[in-house]
Amino acid sequence: MNTQSERQAGSVTAARVAYRTVKIDGLDIFYREAGPKDAPVVLLLHGFPTSSHMFRNLIPALADEFHLVAPDYPGYGNSSMPTVDEFAYTFDNLADVIGKFTEKAGLKKYTLYVMDYGAPVGYRLATSHPDRVQALVVQNGNAYDEGLDNDFWKPIKAYWQEKTAERETPLRPLFTRDATIWQYTNGVRDKEAISPDTWNIDQPLLDRPGNVEIQLALFHSYGSNPPLYPKWQAYFRNYQPPTLIVWGKNDKIFPPAGAEPHKRDLKALEFHLFDTGHFALEEDGDKIADLMRNFLRENVKLRPSATKQEREAA
């Protein structure tokens, strides 16, 4: 295990972030972890085409008060990348791996932070074990049909209907460097504020032999998610998890049409739209971290060993 410090711009002190790997069903699952072990847990679930790297600044920003854990899915980041012949890349299987990961890591209760692919992974965990989920933080992660009613999803929906080489053709450009840069920069206020480290880390991983086939498999498997939306929405209504929405409103993939319907199902809802794109943490990470700190203090119990000052602040 290697441990080093990562610093968020503008922070006074740097948190100690550990970089670990555990075996789950023969796969190496990499994760980042920081914060007191007895603090409230935040399970951070990343999107496409990135990894736990998307949380590199958020983790140290909150690790003084919370226990943050961010795994990489199989096929992403620093986790194992079995081929499509060795592992069935479906959202059911990703959720199964991450569910087993939470048990091996001893995460008995947690707040779920879901973004992009993290939503279908996280909501499978939540509906399987609703007693484990203390709260939700939703950042451009979809659970409503309205969120997929846009041009980006049209060729993907066609692929759900017919998995053919012809229907793969318009999808393959989505795995290129230009498309990855677009995901990070489209809709942002200031492109010069977005570090090229983001796509320069993600793209070489996408370019690994066999990874495009993995991404196509998951594009196809994404079609398994909309039929589960009624189940996820029923979970919202029946269990009413306190929820913080922090959504980049200029996202062309998951526009705010997918954020608004949460208002009809969730009562304890804090709702924020940011003037930025898909990866809202890149441009508004400081603001999101502040909102999360206040939200978690209000809705999730502090650890038993919290100081008097922490309890009074909460």
The residues annotated with a catalytic role in the active site are 278
- Start-to-end CA distance of the chain, whole Å, equals 34
Half-sphere exposure of 102 (CA within 13 A, CB side): 25
Partners of residue 246 on adjacent β-strands: 272
Q: Which pair of tokens denotes residue 215?
A: 């991404």
The beta-carbon contacts of 256-262 under 8 Å, at least 24 apart in sequence, are 257/144, 257/146, 257/147, 257/149, 257/150, 258/140, 258/142, 258/143, 258/144, 258/146, 258/147, 258/148, 259/138, 259/140, 259/147, 260/146, 261/143, 261/144, 261/146, 261/147, 262/138, 262/143, 262/144, 262/236
Buried b (16+ CB within 10 A) or exposed e, 94-117: bbbbbbebbeebeeebbbbbbbbb
E strands present in the chain = 2-6, 15-24, 27-34, 41-45, 67-71, 110-114, 133-138, 243-248, 269-274
Partners of residue 31 on adjacent β-strands: 20, 71
Q: Which pair of tokens denotes residue 311?
A: 């309890």
Characterize the bridge pairing of strands 269-274 and 243-248.
parallel
Total length of the chain: 314
- How far is residue 255's CA from residue 136's CA, in Å, rounded to a whole number? 19
Cα angle for residues 131, 16, 41 (degrees, 5° grid) = 5
